[in-house]
A and B are shown apart, each in its own frame.
Chain A
Amino acid sequence: MTEERFSFTSGAKKTLMIIGIVGFVLLILGVIMNMNSGHGHGDGHGGEEHAALHQVADDLVASAESPQEGAGTHAAEEAHGEEGGHHGSAPWLKNVFTNLWVNNVYFTGLGIIGLFFVAIQYAAQAGWSAGMKRIPLAMAHWLPFAGILMFISWWIVKADVFHWTHSDLYHGDHADDILIGKSTLWFWPLAAGSSVPLFYLLRMVVFFVLWYMFFIWIKREMLAEDIDGDVKHWYKARKFSAIFLVIFAVSSSVSAWDWIMSVDPHWFSTMFGWYVFASWWVNGLAVITLIVVVLKQNGYLKVVNANHLHDIGKFIFGFSIFWTYIWFSQFLLIYYANIPEETIYFIERLDSSQYKWVFFLNLILNFLLPFLLLMTRDAKRHMSLLKLVCPIVIVGHWFDFYLMITPGVMQENGSFGFTEIGMLMIFGVAFLFVTLSNLAKAPLYAKNHPMLEESLHHHI
């Protein structure tokens, strides 16, 4: 096989730059609009809704006067604590911070899923994907940037996004028993309420370092194979992949608790790790597919044909349903058990004019449309339909993360506008820039991959 290289043309770079600048302008515009309207929103009908919401919460608490009196009191304390306690930054700034965090988490997911996809192909000894593994590998180059961005922005957003970081919640008048109970998870080995949540930050750093190390090791073997064609690289990559998968199983779950679930620190869901993983995974698959399709339509990747697209299309179809399954498992149990400190999560999202539409849009974009559009065989084999479904899934899962994080931070002040679109565009451009420039550095497919021949004859 001959070598094929992707060239990241200056035209493409220019287009990305323009999108990035437009995104930046939209962000500024959105911030200015929020600055001018922010107060009215908070004092107007938003205030009424706020009161109504707490009324609902209080009713629930009252109706659930359980033998364990603790539960009710804590939820009430939370409501009062938030009213009396921390208002933090101005709403517009809070909004920017929330967006920063949503996109941090969302794009970290794309990076880590790139590595996860490659690792799964090696561990399963899959042959069909041999021709397209360089695309997820290129996506994983985002990981170091994601790690640094996340670590730095955590310090900026922590007071607004992470309620549990306020030290007065752990002693004195505002002491919060639930958070004190959970404090080890964040502050160990330091005292609860310390200014540095050592255990939490340690996990963040360790996860990114581990992910990056395995990325480097797997990538090294993949690229070394191009030069000498020795099959030992494949075996080594498989070994690294298998170890990485075990680490990823734990770290993906824990990072979901740390980075997203702790935004609502009183609330918990045992499904959450899987839920975030499902969202990341199907979104990553959609991005991989979209890049493959666009490359093919520009004349690259002759080694990938309709059979490979069919397989990855099935992946998107199947995992869209998997995401829905997890989403519903979480929803049904909370709905049926009807325990106040659990239902509050869905009440915040369903009983509010800001988020109700996002809640249903989430299900339409991530379940209904991919399910119906990708059901037939032809849909998965034709690039035009994949080009329609992948962006739906990609946007849909952005809304999924928006819905996980924003209501917990912004409460009734949350909105969707230019700030959100602008920030997403900036992050998207940065991610694509890193991915595409690294895609151009290595051959587009591994010409010495021991399973390339099998992949070429793949037929379903």
Chain B
Amino acid sequence: MESNKNFVLGIYDDEDVLLKAVTKVRESGVKIHEVYSPFPVHGLDEVLGYKRTRLPIAAFLFGLLGTTLALTMQTWMLGFDWPMIIGGKNFASIPPFVPVTFELTVLLSALGMVGTFMIVSDLKPYKKPRLMDIRITDDKHVMAIDLAKNKLTVDQIKGIIGDSGATEVNDKKFED
């Protein structure tokens, strides 16, 4: 079976039930593809066993890039390319460079972090969202199980989800 096409969905209407269900389903050996919820559920990423994001590392590196770029740019511009005497200071002196360096560090760190986030989350302007169930934009939580990534049969998975407190258990098939 091809991956990312055939899903079994468990629909939950309460986040406490959902949190317990996630633990239970994972303990039964079912791999959860993703859980969708209309609002942030505290502790959900922990019961799903997600690792913490490494985004801060990217932010730090982009920030470092901004610092280097800003200092190089200003030293080259004011020190070599077009030296100017401003207020009797040295051509390339650090203190006046600090505000620009600070701003570029923050800018590149922020933009780089957003860009990295969009790439790793596969978000792009023309991307068509794959909505598992329209009700996740309203009042329902959805647990999606990718059938291709599980060795259990469809019926076994549906049974496990049904026992975990889901109000509905549905199939979902994507054609693209």
Pair A459/B60 contact, Cβ less than 8 Å: no
Q: Knowing A338-B87, A338-B88, A459-B43, say if A332 contacts B95 (CB, 8 Å).
A: yes
Q: Indicate with 1 or 0, residue by residue over B72-106, a CB within 8 angstroms of chain A CB atoms.
A: 00000000000000011100000110110000000
Q: Report the separation of the CA atoms of residues A335 and B52 in the bound assembly, to the nearest whole angstrom.
A: 44
Pair A459/B42 contact, Cβ less than 8 Å: yes
Q: Which chain B positions have C-beta within 8 A of A337?
A: 87
Q: Report the separation of the CA atoms of residues A376 and B43 in the bound assembly, to the nearest whole angstrom.
A: 21
Does A336 make an interface contact (CB < 8 A)?
yes
Distance in Å: Cβ of B57 to nearest Cβ of chain A: 9
Q: Report the separation of the CA atoms of residues A337 and B86 in the bound assembly, to the nearest whole angstrom.
A: 11
Q: Knowing A338-B87, A338-B88, say if A331 contacts B42 (CB, 8 Å).
A: no
Distance in Å: Cβ of A368 to nearest Cβ of chain B: 13
Pair B60/A375 contact, Cβ less than 8 Å: yes
Pair A332/B88 contact, Cβ less than 8 Å: no
Q: Which chain B positions have C-beta within 8 A of A376?
A: 56
Q: Which chain B positions have C-beta within 8 A of A377?
A: 52, 56
Q: Which chain A positions have C-beta within 8 A of B43?
A: 459
Pair A332/B96 contact, Cβ less than 8 Å: yes
How many CB-defined contacts (below 8 Å) exist between A and B? 20
Q: Indicate with 1 or 0, residue by residue over B31-60, a CB within 8 angstroms of chain A CB atoms.
A: 000000000001100000000100010001
Q: Report the separation of the CA atoms of residues A297 and B18 in the bound assembly, to the nearest whole angstrom.
A: 36
Our pick among A336, A338, A375, A459 for the contact of B96 (Cβ within 8 Å) is: A336
Residue in A closest to B63 when the chains form the complex, CB atoms: A375
Distance in Å: Cβ of A202 to nearest Cβ of chain B: 39
Interface size band for B: 10 to 19
Q: Report the separation of the CA atoms of residues A247 and B60 in the bound assembly, to the nearest whole angstrom.
A: 40
Q: Indicate with 1 or 0, residue by residue over A22-35, a CB within 8 angstroms of chain B CB atoms.
A: 00000000000000
Residue in A closest to B98 when the chains form the complex, CB atoms: A328
Q: Indicate with 1 or 0, residue by residue over A306-340, a CB within 8 angstroms of chain B CB atoms.
A: 00000000000000000000001001100111100
Interface size band for A: 10 to 19
Q: Report the separation of the CA atoms of residues A338 and B88 in the bound assembly, to the nearest whole angstrom.
A: 9
Distance in Å: Cβ of B56 to nearest Cβ of chain A: 7
Q: Report the separation of the CA atoms of residues A375 and B99 in the bound assembly, to the nearest whole angstrom.
A: 20
Q: Which chain A positions have C-beta within 8 A of B56?
A: 376-377
Q: Report the separation of the CA atoms of residues A197 and B88 in the bound assembly, to the nearest whole angstrom.
A: 41
Q: Which chain A positions have C-beta within 8 A of B42?
A: 459
Distance in Å: Cβ of A7 to nearest Cβ of chain B: 36
Q: Which chain B positions have C-beta within 8 A of A328?
A: 98
Q: Which chain B positions have C-beta within 8 A of A459?
A: 42-43
Q: Indicate with 1 or 0, residue by residue over A359-398, a CB within 8 angstroms of chain B CB atoms.
A: 0000000000000000111000000000000000000000
Pair B87/A332 contact, Cβ less than 8 Å: no
Residue in B closest to A331 when the chains form the complex, CB atoms: B95
Q: Indicate with 1 or 0, residue by residue over B136-161, a CB within 8 angstroms of chain A CB atoms.
A: 00000000000000000000000000
Distance in Å: Cβ of A305 to nearest Cβ of chain B: 14
Q: Report the separation of the CA atoms of residues A132 and B142 in the bound assembly, to the nearest whole angstrom.
A: 39
Pair B95/A335 contact, Cβ less than 8 Å: yes
Residue in B closest to A338 when the chains form the complex, CB atoms: B87
Pair A332/B98 contact, Cβ less than 8 Å: yes
Q: Which chain A positions have C-beta within 8 A of B99?
A: 332
Q: Which chain A positions have C-beta within 8 A of B60?
A: 375
List 11 A-B residue pairs with CB atoms under 8 Å apart, sorted by A's residue number: A332-B95, A332-B98, A332-B99, A335-B95, A336-B87, A336-B89, A336-B96, A337-B87, A338-B88, A376-B56, A377-B52
Q: Tell me the A residues contacting B by CB distance below 8 Å.
A: 328, 331-332, 335-338, 375-377, 459
| A-B residue pairs, 10 tightest by C-beta | A335-B95, A332-B95, A336-B87, A459-B42, A338-B87, A328-B98, A338-B88, A336-B96, A331-B95, A376-B56
**6 extra interface residue pairs, beta carbon distance < 8 Å, beyond A332-B95, A459-B42:** A332-B96, A332-B98, A335-B95, A338-B87, A338-B88, A377-B56
